[in-house]
């Protein structure tokens, strides 16, 4: 029994739970908004558990397909500092075990989807199917340079309209605009990680949006423009929803400038670890990670994630207090 529990914990850790807060806050924005319009509380909570499981499955499925592709490169296999698929490279699990875990988690998500389908209507099935396709084939989308579009779609319209529908049995134009703004900020985390992984992706032939740009400099510019687009959309939502509290999200602009500078320094020297400022936090397990060779990577990744966390949290509060 103890070994079984340890294995569950092992797979939970490998599914990268440190990415779950962004899923929770993405859901929280539309959950609070839906409650404002008479949404069903229980349906919204059940929807979150389904969304969280699919998110973790996406991380594991990404490992599965990435390992199959990258294992052909001996440099990848021999690289101890490469954080990608580390538990597979170290022999702590096999591809077969990973496949079984993915299937089991998908079955749990499917049961939740079936409940919402019978409780809310046929449109839930469409949202769930689209989300499942993105979860299972995200690695394929990513390899074609379409990962950003998949993330914006999944964390934007699919999640927001889906949750709003299961809670209110309606769709909304305002929700669509809100979803795009928030989806863009979630995607900014992926975009920052692609900049951090630029050399590895470029050398392995992985086609991402950044490698398509064929320049780290242009990739940084594209990330900055992505942030600006997110602010424009939240500004438009504030106007059509008459909720100008959302504009308080602009206070994170200095953090974005700090991140851009930090990413620029990383592109010049991957071993450089800047002085940790209070606005970088929270940094999970940093007392252990700071001595790891991957510390400069994780510092920037956590910082990018935290910027999006602040944005989503501010928007959630703004919607609540309106």
- Model confidence pLDDT, tens digit, residues 192-203: 988 888 777 777
- Each domain of the chain, given as residue ranges in start order, spans 2-321
Given a cut of 80, whether residue 308 has pLDDT beyond it is yes
For residue 33, is the peptide bond before it cis, meaning its omega torsion is within 30 degrees of 0? no
SS3 207: strand
Structure-block tokens of residue 57: 């499955």
The stretch 252-277 carries a mean pLDDT of 87
Rounded distance between C-alpha atoms, residue 101 and residue 105, angstroms: 6
Q: Among the ranges 17-26, 128-137, 142-151, which has the highest mean pLDDT value?
A: 17-26
Predicted pLDDT at 122: 78
Name 167's Cβ contacts closer than 8 Å, sequence gap at least 6. 31, 34, 35, 39, 40, 41, 43, 44, 47
pLDDT at 74: 54
Most confident of 62-71, 91-100, 145-154, 280-289: 145-154
pTM value? 0.83
- Partnered with residue 23 across adjacent β-strands are none
pLDDT band at 82 (very low <50, low <70, confident <90, very high): low
Phi, psi of 61 (to 5 degrees): -65, -35
Report whether pLDDT(79) > 70.
no
Instruction: State in Å, rounded, how far the first CA of the chain is from the last one.
Output: 49
Residue reference for tokens 């019978």: 118
CA distance 2 to 284: 25
CA torsion through residues 23, 29, 35, 38, sign = negative
Residue 138 DSSP SS3: helix
Q: Which two tokens stand for residue 34?
A: 């839906």
Evaluate if residue 18 carries a pLDDT over 90. Answer: no
Residue with tokens 């309209």: 161
């Amino acid at each position: 029994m103890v070994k079984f529990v340890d294995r569950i914990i092992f797979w939970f850790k490998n599914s990268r739970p440190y990415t779950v807060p962004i899923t929770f806050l993405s859901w929280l924005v539309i959950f609070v908004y839906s409650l404002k319009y008479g949404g069903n509380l229980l349906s919204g909570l059940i929807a979150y558990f389904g969304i969280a499981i699919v998110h973790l499955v996406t991380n594991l499925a990404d490992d599965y397909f990435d390992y199959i592709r990258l294992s052909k490169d001996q440099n990848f296999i021999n690289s101890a500092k490469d954080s990608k698929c580390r538990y597979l490279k170290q022999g702590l699990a096999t591809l077969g075990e990973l496949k079984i875990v993915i299937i089991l988690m998908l079955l749990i998500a499917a049961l939740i989807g079936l409940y919402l389908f019978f409780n809310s209507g046929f449109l839930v099935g469409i949202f769930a199917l689209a989300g499942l396709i993105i979860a299972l084939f995200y690695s394929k989308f990513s390899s074609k340079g379409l990962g950003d579009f998949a993330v914006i779609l999944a964390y934007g319209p699919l999640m927001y309209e889906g949750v709003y529908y299961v809670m209110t049995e309606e769709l909304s134009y305002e929700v669509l605009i809100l979803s795009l703004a928030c989806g863009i900020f979630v995607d900014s985390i992926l975009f920052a990680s692609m900049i951090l992984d630029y050399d590895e992706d470029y050398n392995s032939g992985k086609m991402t949006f950044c490698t398509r740009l064929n320049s780290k400099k242009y990739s940084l510019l594209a990330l900055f423009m992505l942030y600006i687009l997110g602010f424009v959309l939240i500004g438009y939502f504030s106007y059509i929803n008459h909720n100008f509290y959302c504009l308080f999200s602009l206070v994170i602009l200095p953090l974005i400038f700090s991140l851009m500078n930090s990413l620029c320094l990383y592109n010049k020297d991957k071993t450089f670890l800047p002085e940790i400022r209070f606005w970088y936090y929270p940094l999970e397990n940093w007392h252990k990670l700071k001595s790891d060779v991957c510390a400069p990577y994780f510092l920037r990744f956590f910082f990018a994630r935290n910027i999006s966390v602040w944005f989503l949290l501010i928007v959630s509060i703004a919607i609540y207090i309106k």
